[in-house]
Amino acid sequence: MARRQRRTEEGDPENPGLQRPPPSEEEPHRYLCLVISFPGVILLGIAAALIIFLISLKSNNSEAIATSAPSPEDPFWFDISENLGGGGNNDDVALSFPTRQPTQNPTRITSSTFVEDDDRLSSSVTEPPILPLPQVNPPTLLPTPLLSEEAFFLEDAKNRFQEILESKSRGDFTVRDKDADSPQTKALNWLVRDPNLYSYSGDRVLQRWVLATFAFGMVSPSSENNVERGGAAGTIRSQEPPLSIPQAMQNWVRYTDECTRWYYTLGDDNGKTLCNSEGLYVRLDLRLQNLVGTLPSEIALLSNHLRYIHLFDNRLYGTVPSEFGLLTQLERLELTKNNLEGEVPTELGNLDRLRFLGLGQNSFSGPLPSEMGKLSRLNTIGLEWNRFTEIPSELGNMAETRILNMDHNDLRNGVPTTIGQLTKLEQLNLIFNRDLVGTMPDEVCDLDMDVLQADCDVLDCDCCTRCNHYD
C-alpha cells in the first residue's frame, strides 16, 4: 500500500503515463469550491441557527432576572397573596382582579422559589414574611326591588281599586288587612288582571270585585268532604278552604260581561232584567244552586242599585252580615231554606223599601228585633222553622203585611195585641210553638183573615181556622 502511494507520488517507472503532473496554480481554488458545495451550505445554516438561538436564550434570561423583582412604582402590579385572601379559601377569588397599589412587603418570585430539594439554592434567598391585610366587610344594603312592567301595572291597578273602594265605602271596607287566601284578596288578584279594567266605571269595578268575592267564598258541592253538618236545622261549617268554585259560578271569574255572560236564575221573574242601563246589578239571583259558603258583607257595596237578592234553597251558612242594613234600595231579601244562624241583625230595620223578607227554614235564634217594626212596606214575612223566642209588639206597625208565618219556632209569652193593627193581614201561622200560651187576643180574632193557625192545646183560640193538637 505504501509502495503504491509512493509510486503514485513519484511516478511509475514502468508506466510513464502514470506519472503525477506538476501542481497547477489554480489547485487551491478547486479545494474551496469543494468546501462550499451543497453539504457545506447545510452545515453553515445549522451553525448560524445555533448561534442565533444561543444569543436569544441569553437575552430572555436577562429579561427574566430584570423583571423578577416587581417595581413598587408599577401601577399594574398587585400582591397575589392578597387577592387570594391571605392564604384563605381560593373559592372566593374573582375571575378578574382589580388593579391596586403595592403592599409594604411584596412577594418576590426568584429561581430559588421553585427549588424544593436543593438546600444550597433555597437557602440563598430569604423571603420576607407576608402579612395578610385585614378583612373589611362593606355595609350590607337591602336593594330596592325593581318592578317589572307587569308588576307595575298590577300595583297601579290595585291602588286605583283601593281608591275606588275607600271613596264608595267611606272607609268601611278594605282589602289591606286580608290574608292571601281570603276571598277578598283572591277577587282582587283576579280583578287587576282584567284586560278591560280601565274601561269600566268605578261602580262596575267595585261590582265585579264584590261578585268575584262572593264566588271565591263558595265551596263546590264536590268538596262536601270538607263540610260538616250540625244543629237542629243543619248548620254547615267549612273545615277547609274552598277547593273550587261551584259550577253555577265558574263563569263569574271570567273576563266577560257580568250582565250577559255570567250565570244567574230568574225563576218566576222571567222577563226581568239582571242589570240596569249602566251595567249594574239590579238582582242577585242564584236560587236552587246548592251553594255552600257564607254571605259576604261586601254585597252591601251594591246598595245604590241592588233591589233583589234571591238565594233560596242553597246551603249557605254563618250569619247575615249587619252590613246588609246598608242595602237601602232592596225590595226582596230571599234567604229561605239555607243553614244560616244567629240573631237577625237589627240593621235590617233600615230597609224601608223591603216588601218581601224570607228567613224561613234556617237556624236563626233569639227574639226578633223590634226594629223590624219600621218595615212599613213589608208585605210577606217568612220566619218559619227557626228558633225565634219572642214576637215584638212593634210588628204591629207593619201596616202593609198580608202574610206572617212564624210556625215551628220557640215562641213564648203570648201574642201581642198590636198584631190586631195589621188590618191587611190575610194569613197568620203560629202552630208548633209549644210555649206560646195564653189566649188569642180579640183584636187578632177581629181581623178578617183567611188563615189563622195556632196550637189550641196551649193557646186558647176560638177564632182559629185550624187548631193543632199535640194529643
Residue recorded with cell 451550505: 41
**Distance from the Cα of residue 211 to its chain's centroid:** 20
CB 436 within 8 A of CB 458: yes
pLDDT in tens, 177-194: 678 889 999 999 999 999
**Distance from the Cα of residue 212 to its chain's centroid:** 16
Q: State residue 132's pLDDT score.
A: 62
Instruction: Tell me the pairing of strands 451-455 and 466-468.
Output: parallel
Sequence-distant (≥ 6) Cβ neighbours of residue 427 within 8 angstroms: 402, 403, 404, 405, 449, 450, 451, 452
Residue 97 is given by DSSP the state P
Across residues 411-433, what is the average pLDDT? 96
pLDDT in tens, 264-304: 887 555 557 889 999 999 999 999 999 999 999 999 999 99
Residue 78 has pLDDT above 80, yes or no: no
Phi, psi of 349 (to 5 degrees): -65, -10
d(CA 283, CA 272) in angstroms, rounded, equals 9
CA dihedral defined by 76, 79, 84, 86, rounded to 10 degrees? -160
CB 292 within 8 A of CB 268: no
Work out the burial of residue 98: count CB atoms within 10 Å of its CB; fewer than 13 is exposed, 13-18 middle, 19 or more buried: exposed
Sequence-distant (≥ 6) Cβ neighbours of residue 147 within 8 angstroms: 155
CB 346 within 8 A of CB 323: no
d(CA 378, CA 147) in angstroms, rounded, equals 54
pLDDT in tens, 28-59: 555 555 555 566 667 777 877 788 877 777 66
Most confident by average pLDDT, 18-22, 42-46, 231-235, 241-245: 42-46
DSSP H or E run through 38: helix 38-67
DSSP 118-172: -HHHHTSS-PPPPPPPPP-PPPP--PPPPPPHHHHHHHHHHHHHHHHHHHHHTTS
Categorize the per-residue pLDDT at 110 as very low, low, confident or very high, splitting at 50, 70 and 90.
very low
CB 375 within 8 A of CB 399: no
Q: Assign residue 312 a region: left if phi > 0, alpha if psi is -120 to 50, beta otherwise?
A: beta
Residue 309 has pLDDT above 60, yes or no: yes
- Going 217 to 222 to 223 to 225, the CA torsion angle's sign is positive
Q: State residue 270's pLDDT score.
A: 55
Across residues 68-87, what is the average pLDDT? 42
Secondary structure class of 221 (helix, strand, coil)? helix
Residue 85 has pLDDT above 90, yes or no: no
Task: List beta partners, residue 381.
Answer: 357, 404
Q: Give Cα separations from 55 to 49, 52, 66, 205 (angstroms).
A: 10, 5, 17, 90
- Going 208 to 170 to 311 to 239, the CA torsion angle's sign is positive
Categorize the per-residue pLDDT at 411 as very low, low, confident or very high, splitting at 50, 70 and 90.
very high
Sequence-distant (≥ 6) Cβ neighbours of residue 293 within 8 angstroms: 217, 218, 219, 238, 242, 316, 317
Residue recorded with cell 242595602: 327
d(CA 288, CA 293) in angstroms, rounded, equals 14
Q: State residue 138's pLDDT score.
A: 56
Across residues 241-265, what is the average pLDDT? 81
CB 208 within 8 A of CB 258: yes
Q: Give Cα separations from 443 to 138, 373, 439, 440, 452 (angstroms).
A: 91, 18, 11, 8, 13
Categorize the per-residue pLDDT at 222 as very low, low, confident or very high, splitting at 50, 70 and 90.
low
Identify the residue with better confidence: 90 or 449.
Answer: 449
Sequence-distant (≥ 6) Cβ neighbours of residue 206 within 8 angstroms: 164, 165, 168, 301
Residue recorded with cell 220566619: 383
Other Cβ atoms within 10 Å of 431 Cβ, number: 20
Work out the burial of residue 337: count CB atoms within 10 Å of its CB; fewer than 13 is exposed, 13-18 middle, 19 or more buried: buried
CB 216 within 8 A of CB 253: yes
Categorize the per-residue pLDDT at 117 as very low, low, confident or very high, splitting at 50, 70 and 90.
very low
Across residues 373-381, what is the average pLDDT? 96
Residue 334 has pLDDT above 90, yes or no: yes
Sequence-distant (≥ 6) Cβ neighbours of residue 302 within 8 angstroms: 207, 210, 280, 281, 284, 327
- Buried b / exposed e across 360-390, counting CB within 10 Å, b at 16+? bbbbbbeebbebbbbbebbbbbbbbbbbbbb
Residue 456 has pLDDT above 80, yes or no: yes
